[in-house]
Amino acid sequence: MATCLRAWLAIVALIIPLISSGAEPPAILLAETYAGSVDVSRYLVSEKLDGVRAVWDGRSLRFRSGNPIHAPGWFIDGLPKVPLDGELWIGRGQFERLSGIVRKEVPVDEEWHAVRYMIFELPDAPGTFADRVAEIRALVRRANRPWLVEIEQFRVVDRSSLQRKLREVVKAGGEGLMLHRADAPFVTGRSDVLLKLKPWHDAEATVIGHQSGKGKYAGMLGSLRVRTPDGREFALGTGLTDAQRLDPPPVGTIVTYRYRDLTGSGLPRFASFVRVRAEP
């Protein structure tokens, strides 16, 4: 299998210059939610990073939307000439800072020196995910750039071990865990070969209105009125800072919220505002 991967790398290096780098969203793998009934010993597990998804096609770096990421030349020049999928990341709890850095059309070198490109997949590569993980490790080692890092993948023996690791990561400030079937070929779209496990759920909704605050929030925003993609509407007030209440996200903005579970009517329970979706 290592021979197949090396052959793939050589072929990709030849054909990349012939491929257009249009702004269409790249085909990527999206995770389903862990349900607790899978055989976790068949998966490789990694920490779920609170970063910005970034896809490298061998010559350009793009957001999952397909729009370009304006990274400095030295950052781009240090990447291998083969497709990569991963997260731009600074550290736990640093999403807002990271987002401010990577969304600038004119990159600031000093800021980008804090950014790491954390690799977790080789798009279209042959073999199993375990094979590709080994090749990612080798690619990173050969590139020898401090900003190019493979995401650590590890195994757990059972669900109890998985939950212990989840508690450890969350206690340290992490978001959760990702589980990727070790024997899976490369696939795209939403698939249960990739699972996410967190102590809460995240989702997105569109702001459709502003509700005035009362009491200590008099004269400020009380809550956002939002609508989910499937048409459910609810008020989202918890989690907003005073600055956001004074200058709320405008109508039409897509926001991320966090919730524990769903009510009988399908509305999120204990919903809390997380952030405005920053990706272009």
Catalytic residue among 48, 81, 104, 216: 48
pLDDT of residue 263: 85
pLDDT digits over 126-139, tens only? 999 999 999 999 99
User: Which amino acid would we find at residue 184?
Assistant: A
Residue 216 annotated in active site: no
Mean pLDDT over 208-224 rounds to: 94
H-run or E-run covering 159: helix 159-171
Q: What is the pLDDT of residue 20?
A: 41
pLDDT of residue 37: 84
Contact 90, 148 (CB under 8 A): no
Residue 237: its pLDDT value, please? 93
pTM for the predicted model, two decimal places: 0.75
**Among 113-117, 166-170, 200-204, which stretch is predicted with the lowest mean pLDDT?**
200-204
- pLDDT mean across residues, the chain: 90
Residue among 194, 255, 258, 257 nearest 48 (CA):
194
Average pLDDT over residues 203-229: 94
At 5, the pLDDT band (50, 70, 90 cuts) reads low
- Nearest Cα residue to 277 out of 111, 30, 95: 95
Average pLDDT over residues 190-200: 92
Class of domain 2-17+25-197: alpha beta
Residue ranges, comma separated, of all CATH 3.30.470.30 domains in the chain are 2-17+25-197
For residue 141, CA distances in Å to 46, 84, 119, 145 come to: 19, 14, 12, 8
Maximum CA extent, the chain: 68
| Three-state DSSP class for residue 107 | coil
Domain 201-276 is classified in which CATH homologous superfamily?
Answer: Nucleic acid-binding proteins (2.40.50.140)
| pLDDT attached to residue 1 | 63
Instruction: Using the structure block, give the residue that is written with the tokens 């757990």.
Output: 156
Between CA 52 and CA 41 the distance in angstroms is: 28
Q: Which of 56, 116, 55 is nearest to 81 (CA)?
A: 56
* pLDDT at residue number 200: 83
Instruction: Give the CA radius of gyration of the chain.
Output: 20
Give CA angle at 70 (67, 71), nearest 5°.
130
What single-letter DSSP state applies at residue 131? H
Q: Where in the chain is the domain with CATH 2.40.50.140?
A: 201-276
Q: What is the pLDDT of residues 16-36, one digit of tens each?
A: 444 444 468 999 999 998 988
**Would you place residue 93 in the very low, low, confident or very high pLDDT band (cuts 50, 70, 90)?**
confident
pLDDT digits (tens, 9 = 90+) for 143-191: 999 999 999 999 999 999 999 999 999 999 998 999 999 999 999 999 9
pLDDT value, residue 21 = 44
Strands 61-62 and 116-121: unpaired
